[in-house]
Structure 1
């Protein structure tokens, strides 16, 4: 099948549904239409930098349909010793320990809280804020593939905001189970995702600010109107309630 490569943000392959089910037992992934290096790394819970290094892919991380990517393996020695990513990793300071947030602050945000001045919580240089105001109807559970983030109830068309400053690295619907999805890169360590949107308002490569309207809440890929929100640290899901104010 001849498929033209579409270079959106320098790394996207044309979009369609994914046929390869996610599994930690898989050692390879065959690139399909709509895949990006970022979305593949997200799909398998990997750090996009490591996945790129294993497969010898350099920025801007161009991939193409039919390409076979290794999901496991060692980072080449020359890459591990000389790449900016590797060097940065060796001198990086440990991330501050996250303190548990009292339940009364994380169960839901009432109508009165929507009238208060937006608050943020700082992680290093990143200031996190809630992407939407509403009741948390499903919480993160470590190790549960269906609970990698939080679900926040809302109404169709309600504004979804960026949780922190960053760059949109994925905008599409090719990642099964997420509906219309946005992934924002905040740093080499942290990414966030906004799923099941009704409409996406930003494109890949867009620079966004914390609190900026980036999507409309919806029910794409699910059975009710809600926002599914995730934070990934070095490719691994973490509890958003430990980061949100």
Structure 2
């Protein structure tokens, strides 16, 4: 029990998967906020004296009701531009003298970016489920048991184990300060935590641990938030 608890805490502190509650996070730049357990967009907006609509616009949020633990949100106008909601006094009321200004064209670091990481396919097989940002946080590939699973990019193994419910035998690779890839449901893990791996190196064998079919569930995460791996993979 003690080893499992330590393993889950280590996952959470590293912000490896948004499905875990963060017990500690790297600091974010001024004007940004990292989502914590129990947060809602309206709560974050009130805490930062901004309009919900402004935060939605600054972060290109398609669904304001769907934010994830560990997600980094812009909570201040880009470039120091005034919020279109007007200046806010200490009592929370809008200042009548404040003149809203149109904000410039904005880009949101927390919105799913065009990936600047180049990946190779982590396994041969048939993609039977694709990323949708909701029920599917990655892509699912089916093939025969024992099919080689390879590192999609060079990196370091930051997790190797089966302590995360629903993922079976899981590997997580860290590629730089912003990107992680996850490889779930393996029958055999061939690398250990702390090891460096090369692109295309065999790291596991496909299996059906904690699932009802042989498959590889593959995720790509940017700043702790899941994004579509297909955007960084070559066409098939």
TM-score interval, normalised by the smaller of the two chains: 0.5 to 0.7
- What SS does structure 1 have at the residue aligned with 2:7? coil
- What is the match of residue 137 of structure 1? 128
Shift, 1:50, TM fit = 6.3
Contact 2:12 2:20 in 1 (8 A): no
Matched, 1:235 2:224: yes
Structure 1: state its 5+ residue gaps: 4-13, 16-31, 55-69, 75-93, 99-122
Shift, 1:210, TM fit = 0.5
Scaled by the length of structure 2, what TM-score is found?
0.59
Distance 1:230 1:36 in 2: 20
- What SS does structure 1 have at the residue aligned with 2:25? helix
Q: What RMSD over aligned residues (CA atoms) do the two structures have, in Å?
A: 3.1
Deviation digits for residues 160-185 of structure 1, max 9, x if unmatched? 00000000000010111000000000
Q: Which of 43, 51, 70 is the aligned partner of 2:25?
A: 51
Greater CA radius of gyration, 1 or 2?
A: 2
- What is the match of residue 148 of structure 1? 137
- What SS does structure 2 have at the residue aligned with 1:42? coil
Shift, 1:35, TM fit = 1.5
- What is the match of residue 11 of structure 2? 38
Runs of 4+ in 1 over 4 A off after TM superposition: 45-50, 70-74, 94-97
Instruction: Call closer, same or farther: CA 1:140–1:96 in 2, change over 3 Å.
Output: closer
Contact 1:131 1:162 in 2 (8 A): yes
Distance 1:128 1:138 in 2: 18
Shift, 1:46, TM fit = 7.9
Shift, 1:133, TM fit = 1.0
Contact 1:47 1:234 in 2 (8 A): no
Structure 2: state its 5+ residue gaps: 29-35, 45-108
- What SS does structure 2 have at the residue aligned with 1:128? coil
Distance 2:150 2:195 in 1: 14
Matched, 1:199 2:173: no
Shift, 1:33, TM fit = 4.2
- What is the match of residue 161 of structure 1? 150
Contact 1:167 1:208 in 2 (8 A): yes
Deviation digits for residues 10-64 of structure 1, max 9, x if unmatched? xxxx13xxxxxxxxxxxxxxxx24324335623435897962559xxxxxxxxxx
Scaled by the length of structure 1, what TM-score is found?
0.57
Distance 2:27 2:123 in 1: 35
